Chains A and B, each alone.
Chain A
Amino acid sequence: MSMTGSVPGTDNRGIRELGAEEKVGWDQVQQGVVLPSFEGDAADIAHQKAEERHYADFNSYTATVASWRVLKPVYNRDICIDCQNCWVWCPDTSIISRDKQMLGIDYDHCKGCGVCVEVCPTNPKSLLMFNEAEENEEALSEWPQKEKKAK
């Protein structure tokens, strides 16, 4: 169900369904329930883009919860004003933004809560919820027109 690679910075995402990791025995589990965040030296990690980082297996970045969604947000670049509201409000850091420019949605971690749509200020909205099964292109083709203000 992974939609990895559709948006820059999502290349290493959604390698496995959350909870589908290999279950090892007592002799192999990490002492102290410690979960390493990255593989190798991470001293410069803050300066690396997500797709350049080597995330560890137990980092939630590599787990996908895409299957939890019933509805999904679809992003319309043509209307977006890059206000970053959705980026600020998303509870799952599933809005991908680079240099204050909206790029799209991380569908591996988005749970379809709809908060981004609620906080989107444009008219019509730049983010709308569609059925999970509907293709994004189809969703974009049926985008609503600007609503006239009630007088």
Chain B
Amino acid sequence: MAKEFELNEVEVWDGNYAASQALRQAQIDVVAAYPITPSTPIVEGYGAYVANGYVDGEFVMVESEHAAMSGCVGAAAAGGRVATATSSQGFALMTEVLYQASGMRLPIVLTVVNRALASPLNVRGDHSDMYLGRDSGWIQIDAFNAQEAYDLPLCAFRIGEHLDVRLPVMVHQDGFTTSHKAQNVYPLKDDVAYKFVGDYVPVDEMLDFTRPVTHGAQTEEDWHYEHKAKQHKAIMDSKTVIDEVFEDFKKLTGREYKRVETYMMEDAEVALVLLGSSVETAVLAAKQLREEEGIKVGVVAPRCFRPFPYDLVREALDVPTLKAVCCLDKSSPGGAMGALFNEVSAAAYTTSSRPMITNYIYGLGGRDFAMDEAKRIMKEQKAHADAGHITTNIQQFSGLRGPKLGFYETRRS
């Protein structure tokens, strides 16, 4: 039996430590890991909890991230509650196995501390690894601060392990900005947290010797398509379970999460849509801009990146007063508009307000997202709104040194 970990009502934790405590409280059976900056302290923390008797589990040190996720797949198929952590290059090396985990319907939890992908090599936070996972069939939930980096893994086990879902879940947090910034965190007591997560109910586990099974079977054109469709339906429908789990979490803690977080959108004339820790800065900037200049700014933040909350993004943007929206992507799109721009635009296209939508690439490789810059972008949206057309390129770069960089112009006259 694991020892209880003494916790204060308020702790000052960074996002990494917060996530590691959540993994401990969920009493994970197996963590197979290959530590990488900036997510290292999560698995390091779990290793220490195992060594000191605070969790009844196994820490499996492997030779690569590919092996780490493979170990997780094996342990999950065997019937254990399984989690690990990674970032950046490690995430990229895991990618092949991420698709195996989701296709095999194994509810592994992966805490991803978002970090830029090389080259150039860079240890700081952006969303290129998070975006790399977006077609992998995993549920992706995004924490904006250390408290959320603690809360959301607890929710992730409930969501992924739900018998109607049975899918792996990533919980993202921003490298350094969240993972290494200590803030007030209000943890649950061990027994309360574990009760919320619940006992793990294995499905088709390999260690059930009364019912031997094969995992990881091959299918060709006669079976593959149906399996993928069933998997896609599961992740699309998981929104109901996600909403339920968030509701239960709110009842327990008073802390409310939604698949799409909206701030001051009721009367917004312009809005920013973005992800991660920058959401908090943007909300503060929007509040100040409302006071300072009376510009009605709102912020929309998809908490759930996958399944993409098409329904709630549409709802958030279906505001009669809304004229201009800017989607900010913290990942280099490599020859396209940013992914958030594309997906939000598709949802906004079906609204009656049909706001103008532009795209900013920002924060690559950990470039600081400044309050002043957030306000400048908001004011630029107001200029679009006042002019009645987009006054800049549709895609621009924020906080970049050198001549202004932009692509495409509006064809509306």
Question: Touch between A and B in complex, CB under 8 Å?
Answer: yes
Q: Is the CB of A26 within 8 A of B402?
A: yes
Return the chain B residue nearest A33 by Cβ: B120
How far does the alpha carbon of A87 sit from the alpha carbon of B404 in the complex, in Å? 49
Q: Is the CB of B405 within 8 A of A26?
A: yes
CB of A133 closer than 8 Å to a CB of B? no
How far does the alpha carbon of A27 sit from the alpha carbon of B405 in the complex, in Å? 10
Cβ contacts B366-401/A at 8 Å (1 or 0 each) = 000000000000000000000000000000010011
Could you tell me the distance in whole angstroms from the C-beta of B335 to the nearest C-beta in chain A?
Answer: 16
Could you tell me the distance in whole angstroms from the C-beta of A58 to the nearest C-beta in chain B?
Answer: 13
> Which residues 120-146 of A have a CB within 8 angstroms of B?
none
CB of B214 closer than 8 Å to a CB of A? no
- Chain B contact patch, size range: under 10
Residues on B with C-beta less than 8 A from A28 are: 402
Residues on A with C-beta less than 8 A from B405 are: 26
CB of A24 closer than 8 Å to a CB of B? yes
Q: Is the CB of B401 within 8 A of A23?
A: yes
CB of B403 closer than 8 Å to a CB of A? yes
How far does the alpha carbon of A132 sit from the alpha carbon of B392 in the complex, in Å? 54
Residues on A with C-beta less than 8 A from B400 are: 25-26
CB of B119 closer than 8 Å to a CB of A? yes
Residues on B with C-beta less than 8 A from A26 are: 397, 400-403, 405
Cβ contacts A1-42/B at 8 Å (1 or 0 each) = 000000000000000000000011111100011000000000
Residues on B with C-beta less than 8 A from A25 are: 400-403
Residues on A with C-beta less than 8 A from B403 are: 25-27
Could you tell me the distance in whole angstroms from the C-beta of A21 to the nearest C-beta in chain B?
Answer: 13
Could you tell me the distance in whole angstroms from the C-beta of A111 to the nearest C-beta in chain B?
Answer: 20
Return the chain A residue nearest B402 by Cβ: A25
How far does the alpha carbon of A25 sit from the alpha carbon of B401 in the complex, in Å? 4
Cβ contacts B316-353/A at 8 Å (1 or 0 each) = 00000000000000000000000000000000000000
Residues of A within 8 A of B (CB): 23-28, 32-33
Q: Sample 10 A-B pairs with CB under 8 A, ordered by A number.
A: A24-B401, A24-B402, A25-B400, A25-B401, A25-B402, A26-B400, A26-B405, A28-B402, A33-B119, A33-B120
When A and B form their complex, which 9 residue pairs have the shortest distance between CB atoms, in order from nearest?
Answer: A25-B402, A26-B402, A25-B401, A33-B120, A27-B402, A27-B403, A26-B400, A33-B119, A23-B401
